[in-house]
Structure 1
């Protein structure tokens, strides 16, 4: 971290040096320890060894994949469900948007709790619940005379439970992954969002055609519950799975002995830069994720669902991994950390928005597929930009800070998804929706380029002595 602060163009404080030496010493012990000595779950105070990192990266990639399988079931099935239950686009927009109302409420608390009791515990406990909810969704829809109300409530609960996932990942990576491997790890696990959308886009489209929309929910929910069972059985010990009421109380209450200068943290321009950028990225991505299946079905009615539900995400997976490799490689070559983060955001927000703009102007199905694929593929560069920049700024409270940023994105996601449905229904055109995405992205990118930094802001110098 001392070298990162130097490459960022800033000065290294005495506190940063002490914290860096301590973390490097911990990671060195972890790297020299065998998996048998540490246990596959690892020690909460040490970085993962390389074998552990590989296992956890693979399983968290799969977990993120299943998260998106469950999340995207409703957008994929919305047309079929709208026909079955006689919903218009405003009503569909209410159901799709209700997810984000719940999603925004647990981001901060999920990140803070992960910082205190461990991100792996929060991840698996939440996955158990949202996996079960996904599985029972068809039963709830058919058992009630007002499916709109009950499905809206279920989507709200789904948002509450899934809201903790990415803040928990940010917290877990900041505590367990070596700094020069974070971009690759974040991008690899983050590609699970594209992988999950790809899987549910392909398998879900086939299940939808063959067995009806109910089968899509069963598939996503049962796969998630099986993943949770495997993780419980093989990756975590009984002690690591236990979260006592006392632990929860400590995690939810502010610590009086924390080294985090909370009052000063949100006075930093760099903190607000990453919050605004994440807000823009999350809200625009949620809008596209929710409405693209409907856009293709209505604009190109003869198109095959598996094409537009699969091809963009098939390209996005290697693009995400490549962005992580590129980011870590540029940092290793000696480029300033903040330069690398900003470069990734120029690609992730700027270049991707250009193709969204192109999408709004085309009437060709082939070009639309190309533009959507390019835009979604380039958006994955955000994983090695702002997602890692949160950990640059505040590794000791990365989960909390990411939760704050993603809360804003979820709130805007509620507004944009619902507003998009209103615009499409009222104006009768998709162009305003795509223009809205471009404008929001450009505002977020401009603020990030002006004010972003990579120097730590989460340590109070007065408690540096307690670190060692």
Structure 2
């Protein structure tokens, strides 16, 4: 009798749980695990394709007789395109479903990657065509993370969002590492074109698998229904930005995004100039290898504590403290000149890079707490600001290095930006839903 009651209770709980997933339009857990794996692979391929041009830039510059200014214009074209489609990609995902937007955009940028070597040989205007191809890559890849934010808010329960976003961010670092390894082999054994063909082909294969296994036959949940009062508009976005939790989140994300881009852009130069006899692969690989387990562990711990009953708002702030506050402490140590050996510099900066990944379960997921009905568009807006400010701060860092002849000025700038953004988020940040109030 007791066994029958127990079986009935388990069946009833399971039935209720499945009914909750259907009513809230969430992925069932088996499907969520499959999507998490596929999105992780997709993020990895996204960064492989994104870093293909930078890896091949030196060889291409020698082939096509580009100057440093020419190379900079080609590489910089990506970020202008990347800023352009952030909001549009988030809005489309909120309306149509992030799964479909990701599939379409990935297919297009995969084909663009494969076509890049062909465009280079198409005419004598190689320089202009490469700028166009690079900008188009930015336009097509700009929708990825806003779509991911929209998916996370619509398909994943609150207690599992941190791990999903952390897993996706760890895929970024793995993709960067794989592209570097593949590039080293292919540039030595084959031509620069093979790198574009390889990453493009793998990305097309990912799209085919997603279509065959997840999208064919419309097996994904439909996008969330939104009333006319909750539909995304510019006036509604401006109303949301007047809310202290929203604008503090946007500002903190902008700060951590531009400091992370600055570290990624300038760390190889810092190590090469400060420690010219050090082995290059160590400082090009170790910080990003550290970031992968750090991102995964941060997401796991965050979700575990939320499921244990800890405040979501407190978790977001704690994770952001480690991402911006604790990481800045390790960076600022290098300003004093006390730790000047290569090993100590590599250790402190690797820890700092690892800690910055905690933002994936801080402000990066906070947008889904505050405004799930338009999480994609709002994330696109703040990611656009982060990308643009990253361009500004990266350029400003180069100016400071040139004028002061000291890396301490750059590390101090990173620390100042991080502390400012963190302080505002700790004071004004929250995790209570606000999109129903506007």
When normalised by structure 1's length, the TM-score is: 0.80
Q: Which moved more, 1:348-357 or 1:121-130?
A: 348-357
**Which residue does 1:68 correspond to in 2?**
47
2:230–2:435: 8 Å Cα contact kept in structure 1?
A: no
Cα drift, residue 450 of structure 1: 1.8
**Which residue does 1:186 correspond to in 2?**
165
* Aligned counterpart for 1:317 among listed residues 277, 285, 292: 292
5 Å-filtered alignment, 1:400-419, equals 400-419=377-396
**Which residue does 2:255 correspond to in 1?**
280
2:249–2:429: 8 Å Cα contact kept in structure 1?
A: yes
The answer to whether residue 235 in structure 2 is matched with residue 258 in structure 1 is no
CA distance in 2, matches of 1:78, 1:358: 34
1:281–1:349: 8 Å Cα contact kept in structure 2?
A: yes
Gaps of 5+ in 1: 1-26, 34-41, 462-468
**Which residue does 1:172 correspond to in 2?**
151
* Aligned counterpart for 2:18 among listed residues 29, 32, 36: 32
CA distance in 1, matches of 2:130, 2:409: 28
2:245–2:429: 8 Å Cα contact kept in structure 1?
A: yes
CA distance in 2, matches of 1:144, 1:422: 36
2:230–2:373: 8 Å Cα contact kept in structure 1?
A: no
**Which residue does 2:364 correspond to in 1?**
387
CA distance in 2, matches of 1:302, 1:81: 27
Aligned Cα root-mean-square deviation (Å): 3.2
Q: Deviations over 1:399-428 (max 9, x none)?
A: 111011101011112323444455556766
5 Å-filtered alignment, 1:304-383, equals 304-358=279-333, 364-383=341-360
The answer to whether residue 30 in structure 2 is matched with residue 51 in structure 1 is yes
Cα drift, residue 200 of structure 1: 1.5
**Which residue does 1:149 correspond to in 2?**
128
When normalised by structure 2's length, the TM-score is: 0.85
Q: Deviations over 1:326-355 (max 9, x none)?
A: 111222333322111111111111222333
* Aligned counterpart for 2:94 among listed residues 109, 115, 123: 115
The answer to whether residue 244 in structure 2 is matched with residue 269 in structure 1 is yes
CA distance in 2, matches of 1:137, 1:215: 11
Cα drift, residue 452 of structure 1: 0.6
Cα drift, residue 287 of structure 1: 2.8
Q: What secondary structure is seen at the aligned counterpart in 1 of 2:27?
A: coil
Q: What secondary structure is seen at the aligned counterpart in 2 of 1:235?
A: helix
The answer to whether residue 204 in structure 2 is matched with residue 218 in structure 1 is no
Cα distance change of structure 1 residues 269 and 257 upon mapping to structure 2, 3 Å threshold:
closer
CA distance in 2, matches of 1:368, 1:336: 36
The answer to whether residue 106 in structure 2 is matched with residue 133 in structure 1 is no
CA distance in 2, matches of 1:420, 1:263: 31
2:237–2:378: 8 Å Cα contact kept in structure 1?
A: no
Cα distance change of structure 1 residues 179 and 97 upon mapping to structure 2, 3 Å threshold:
same
2:110–2:200: 8 Å Cα contact kept in structure 1?
A: yes
**Which residue does 1:124 correspond to in 2?**
103
**Which residue does 1:159 correspond to in 2?**
138
CA distance in 2, matches of 1:231, 1:53: 13
Gaps of 5+ in 2: 1-12
1:344–1:381: 8 Å Cα contact kept in structure 2?
A: yes
**Which residue does 1:207 correspond to in 2?**
186
Cα drift, residue 177 of structure 1: 0.6
Q: Deviations over 1:21-63 (max 9, x none)?
A: xxxxxx9879537xxxxxxxx9796211111111000000000
Q: Deviations over 1:141-200 (max 9, x none)?
A: 454545443322222111111111001011011111111111112211221111211211
CA distance in 2, matches of 1:413, 1:80: 26
Tell me how many residue pairs correspond in the alignment: 420
Q: Deviations over 1:290-348 (max 9, x none)?
A: 34445445555555554333322222111111101111122233332211111111111
* Aligned counterpart for 1:289 among listed residues 237, 257, 264: 264
1:97–1:417: 8 Å Cα contact kept in structure 2?
A: no
CA distance in 2, matches of 1:216, 1:316: 25
Q: Which moved more, 1:60-69 or 1:152-161?
A: 152-161
Cα drift, residue 281 of structure 1: 1.8
Cα distance change of structure 1 residues 143 and 393 upon mapping to structure 2, 3 Å threshold:
same
2:230–2:436: 8 Å Cα contact kept in structure 1?
A: no
The answer to whether residue 415 in structure 2 is matched with residue 447 in structure 1 is no
